[in-house]
Structure 1
Amino acid sequence: MPVLPSLTAWLTDPHPGRGVRLADDSGGWTYIPYPELAAAARRAAAGMRSAGVRPGDVVCLLMPTGLPCLAALFGVWALGATISPLPPPSFQTDDAYVEHITAVLEQAAPALVVASEEFGDLAARAMTRAGLAGRPWTPREITAGAVPEGAILEGVVPEEPGPPRPGPEADRPVAPPPESIALLQFTSGSTGRPRGVRVSWQNLTANRALQSRLIGWKDGDGFASWLPLHHDMGLIGCCLFPVASQSDLWLMRPDQFIRDPARWLACFAPGRAAHSAAPSFAFAYAARRVRPHRLDELDLSGWRSVCVGAEAVDPAALSAFARFAAPAGFSADAYVPSYGLAENTLAVTGAAAPLLVVRPDWAALRIGRPVTVEDTARLDDAAVEPGSGWLVGHGFPQDGDGVAVRILDEDGDPVPAGHLGEIAVSGASVAPGYHAGREGGPDSTRFVDGELHTADAGFLHDGQLFVLGRMGDSLKLRGRSVYVDDLDAKVAAAAGLDRDRAAVVALNDRGRAGVAVFVEAAPGPWTEKVTEMLRAELGPEPALTLVAGRRGLLKRTTSGKLRRRHMWQLLQEGGLEAVTTRL
């Protein structure tokens, strides 16, 4: 494997013949050579330094994918400060969005909030509510050095401004200590309480080496991505790491992918991008939306790897896209089903071709007990139908990855291979913990003596890790983590009940992420109201289970805390008596 340069070496030694291509809204691309991107980052750093940012400070960034965003992001790193990307507004109301961003700012306590003009007013409202003085800092548009994509396609390298010249000591990028925090990654979605994961420079360095091994990276390989830069897979795996390698990089916004998924696929023609990452839904979506005549125009034979993660990997979606895109030269061998989470920087492990799929006896699954595997196959053996209960293997860490995986029972004791339990991860990629913030922040019970207890259920089979999904307290939907305790109050309000009579538990229904709503009440009209509210919050994808019963249905500890994992287990094994379950 090629020697990996440091994460910020490119800022002072940018490659003159490579750069980033940014998708515009007219179907074209704008090319930013690395010398110009480095210069733009240094200009942004100078502006932020003048605004008071110092090494070690947190800087929150609220901007769409584009040159100003990249310049600000790498400008923060040039200062030796900590970047904390914020999600842009999506489907929620302005008030709900401001409430969420306020909670993030209260924890992050940034020295500066950088926002684009279109998000400036929302950011200012959140800053005021969080008790932060001033207004967001808005960098000016940076366009020097950009050239049309056509120049690149013809093999013409534009005239470069040259590498940044060494300037005064204050203008040189700061080299922060390896144990200092490079990234404060907030993991919760729009539904409530943020959790800021503290990712150090040494965490990023270790995970970068692991990911390079997973995808078979070689110097000169290109990347393409439409994932948002506030999400860990989009930011770390598809932006920070490719830029650190000075790879040619094609970047789109998520809305551009939704409008035209073929534009992303066109990036993988021979000589362009070789690697990418995406959640499962992207492949099912592309197979539905790309018309046959567009597929005829594509050549996907240059696509060597695509890490599939950010949510439960759906083998049916992968199977459907592989069959759909095969005429364009796509090979299912490019899939790298990956397991990861922000608390481990990003990746834990990934599978290599040929991909193993298994179908467990779902009704017999029990924490700490053996898993009965009813069928075993390869992903490309035959079409995998949606809802058929197949799980895809995620590989297993190799020597040199710096990662160790154990499966634990309910008491935290390891179980043998073939038994179901909680996935626990240790190694150099495990983050130091959650950010405490000014108010103390969320607890860090998932970090136990340097080991990350993920709250994900899984088992080992045939030397690979198989992942069922969250065990009660959260689920992943389209790349965002939804913490179900944030939904409890909303369910109670929709049902017209007291707050302590409703609870939401994350579950997995034959490979499909979902939630179970436990309500201590008789079934009634409230069920439709709760269903409507949850669909508005979560969208159409997750499975919904409504469980109604008498007082005592909600299981609690002696101190009154909900035992969501225990409720998950009872529902899984049919151990709930005298209740009504409605799907």
Structure 2
Amino acid sequence: MTGSRSFTEHVRKRVAEAPGRDAVLLLGDDAGPAAPHVLDYAGLDALAQRLAAWLRDRGAAGERVLVLCSSPGPFVAGVLACLYAGAIAVPAPWPGDRRAHARRAAAIARDAAVGVALTSRADAAVVSQLLAEVGRGHVPCLPVDAVPDAGDWRMPDLRPDSVALLQYTSGSTREPRGVMVTHGNLLANQRAIARTLGTAPGTRLGGWLPLYHDLGLIGQFLHPLWLGATAVLMPPAAFLRSPAAWLRAIGDHGIAVSGAPDFAYEQCARRVTDAELSQLDLSGWEIAVSGGEPVRERTLRAFAERFAPAGFRAAALTPCYGLAEATLLVTGAARGARRTRRADPAALAGGELRAPEPGAPARTLVGCGPADAADGELLVVEPETGRVLPEGRVGEVWVRGEGVAAGYWNRSGAAAAPFHGSAEGAGAGWLRTGDLGVAADGELFVTGRLKELIAVAGRHLYPQDVEDAVREVSDAFGACVAFGVHDEPERLVVVQEVRAGNRYRLDLAGLAAAVRDRVAHEFGVVPAALLLVRTGTVRRTTSGKQRRGTMRRLFLAGELRPLHQEVLPGVPEAAGPQERTLR
């Protein structure tokens, strides 16, 4: 289908083609076998029109509209209503009982200066209170499940450069910023996703990903609508309570395309029991996207081996690379064509992709797709000079194309600079992603984040290399985060979660010694501070990435509570029940 000037116009064409086709299946809180709530294209269209007419009557066209709901149903209705009204949707995380989500939702509402809020009847009181706390108490708050009478809806006058939504970044290395995603960006990136994954109108897509995050909103809701397909959506809390719920939903509802960050696959491989496994049917899962955080070969291999008895095929695993500033997808592996490279970590930290010597430490990199953007161009660039690097050299990933967003909302000067990269011999208009990568044999391998490199002992360390090595020390280890404390010289800090339930009788001092030995052997440095902490201490973004900057701030402020810590002189200590200072 071609010729649409806006995402709204395109969806309306899909409604006309098959009004009775299932558009959205909304699963219950436990994503169990109970019949889902179903909205067909005609029903979803009618609901969006009613809401859009109400928004239009309140002058919301072209204005920012907060979409904040605790469940997927009202959320998708609210986002689509914004697109139908010509308003700018501002998705935000439901605060619930998580202070980090409450702070983030409040910051988004304040930064976007929203003029209207869409929620549900059950959530209206919480949303109204949040708005009042950020000085937006005058903002009208409409429950989408209590739509008042409004005038007749009419198609808004939208162009490809009209802003469709503000997609706030996950903030892994900086404060979240609102990415201005236009209707043209959405259309271009949807075409790129379809080409990369081979999706079609008959495909069922879905999963548990939060709809305020780009991978959930654009990949698992808007992409099915663009296709004229069916989105199957389950509450994120259902996955967090039981990873098996995600996998059951895939089999029970015929989901062919689903995805998640690496940590979700790791959780499934580790937490799904044999009894749960025996009830799964994953034979229809054709594309299992891994993206949103670094893709680890070890995780993919463990997942494929664990769920092969349920009919899962390893060839379904599809690593992808993308970011909110490029709408969603930049590049993705072809189906069944996952590629890996073993690399010398020291050479990689020095900016070169080189095979390791036999018996030497190695890092396995997972290819994320062709070293060319799915809807434009991709370069690996020396960030300090703008010089384009050849294959085999590590640099910053730069992209340019129709999917690259219009910029950050209400940002200028240095804050807007990532959208204005100028590459030597390749012109201007490049998006500087902040991600480090290397091209090899036409494949892109993402190696880390530019701002997260740790300069220690005369070399640069990738934090994920350290984290992977530390996690291998013990089966009792969960999430790990490594970061540098800026000093002269910079010091390495490692914070490692320990699953310290009744199942484990742990020698914490012994585990700490094993971690020190592993880091010293593989990287030639000793952590200046090593903290063993309870599960849940390591902060993550909405896509599962470790918030290394947040963890650094908590460490320096003494706000971490370790089960055990070992700290070199001159490095701040955290208060905790078991402390030891290295001399």
Partner of 2:28: 24
Partner of 1:508: 464
Q: Is the 8 A contact 1:407 1:423 kept in 2?
A: yes
Partner of 1:273: 255
Partner of 2:524: none
Matches within 5 A, 1:92-107: 92-93=98-99, 97-107=101-111
Matches within 5 A, 1:139-538: 139-141=143-145, 170-189=152-171, 193-269=175-251, 272-352=254-334, 353-366=336-349, 369-374=351-356, 389-396=363-370, 401-409=374-382, 410-436=384-410, 443-448=415-420, 449-472=428-451, 507-509=463-465, 512=468, 514-520=481-487, 536=537, 538=539
Alignment TM-score, normalising by the size of structure 2: 0.73
Deviation at 1:142?
A: 6.9
Q: CA offsets, 1:346-377, max 9 Å, x none? A: 1110112232111211112246x43212389x
Greater RCO (Cα-Cα under 8 Å, separation 6 or more) = 1
Q: Is the 8 A contact 1:515 1:545 kept in 2?
A: no
Q: Is the 8 A contact 2:68 2:119 kept in 1?
A: yes
Q: Residue 348 of structure 2 aligns to which amino acid in structure 1?
A: L
Q: Residue 389 of structure 1 aligns to which amino acid in structure 2?
A: R
Question: CA separation in 2, counterparts of 1:79 and 1:286?
Answer: 40
2:93 aligned with 1:59, yes or no?
no
Question: CA separation in 1, counterparts of 2:103 and 2:413?
Answer: 16
Q: Is the 8 A contact 1:420 1:458 kept in 2?
A: yes
What is the SS of the residue equivalent to 1:443?
Answer: helix
Question: CA separation in 2, counterparts of 1:120 and 1:18?
Answer: 28
Q: Is the 8 A contact 1:58 1:111 kept in 2?
A: yes
Question: CA separation in 2, counterparts of 1:464 and 1:435?
Answer: 33
Partner of 1:85: 91
Partner of 2:55: 48
Partner of 1:137: 141
Question: CA separation in 1, counterparts of 2:312 and 2:292?
Answer: 22
Q: Residue 7 of structure 2 aligns to which amino acid in structure 1?
A: L
Deviation at 1:82?
A: 0.9
Gap runs ≥5 in structure 1: 144-166, 377-386, 476-504, 549-577
Query: What is the total number of aligned residue pairs between the two structures?
Result: 482
Q: CA offsets, 1:285-312, max 9 Å, x none? A: 1122222233222221211112210111
Q: Residue 95 of structure 2 aligns to which amino acid in structure 1?
A: P
Q: Is the 8 A contact 1:470 1:508 kept in 2?
A: no
Alignment TM-score, normalising by the size of structure 1: 0.73
Question: CA separation in 1, counterparts of 2:45 and 2:377?
Answer: 36
Q: Is the 8 A contact 1:430 1:450 kept in 2?
A: no
Deviation at 1:528?
A: 7.5
What is the SS of the residue equivalent to 2:239?
Answer: helix
Question: What RMSD over aligned residues (CA atoms) do the two structures have, in Å?
Answer: 3.9
Q: Is the 8 A contact 1:65 1:229 kept in 2?
A: no
Deviation at 1:18?
A: 2.0
Q: Is the 8 A contact 1:18 1:246 kept in 2?
A: no
2:112 aligned with 1:108, yes or no?
yes
Deviation at 1:20?
A: 1.4
- Residues 541 and 105 of structure 1, relative CA distance in 2, 3 Å threshold: closer
- Residues 544 and 172 of structure 1, relative CA distance in 2, 3 Å threshold: closer
Question: CA separation in 2, counterparts of 1:541 and 1:200?
Answer: 26
What is the SS of the residue equivalent to 1:373?
Answer: coil
What is the SS of the residue equivalent to 1:199?
Answer: strand
Q: Residue 139 of structure 1 aligns to which amino acid in structure 2?
A: P
- Residues 193 and 121 of structure 1, relative CA distance in 2, 3 Å threshold: farther
Question: CA separation in 2, counterparts of 1:260 and 1:57?
Answer: 39
Q: Residue 412 of structure 1 aligns to which amino acid in structure 2?
A: G
Question: CA separation in 2, counterparts of 1:140 and 1:396?
Answer: 42
Q: Is the 8 A contact 1:65 1:228 kept in 2?
A: no
What is the SS of the residue equivalent to 2:451?
Answer: coil
Deviation at 1:132?
A: 2.4
Question: CA separation in 1, counterparts of 2:155 and 2:534?
Answer: 48
What is the SS of the residue equivalent to 1:330?
Answer: coil
Question: CA separation in 1, counterparts of 2:536 and 2:362?
Answer: 23
What is the SS of the residue equivalent to 1:416?
Answer: coil
Matches within 5 A, 1:120-131: 120-131=124-135
- Identical-pair percentage: 33
Question: CA separation in 1, counterparts of 2:549 and 2:56?
Answer: 52
Question: CA separation in 1, counterparts of 2:452 and 2:170?
Answer: 12
Deviation at 1:258?
A: 2.0
Deviation at 1:187?
A: 0.6
Q: Is the 8 A contact 1:390 1:511 kept in 2?
A: no
Question: CA separation in 2, counterparts of 1:62 and 1:430?
Answer: 25
Q: Is the 8 A contact 1:224 1:264 kept in 2?
A: no
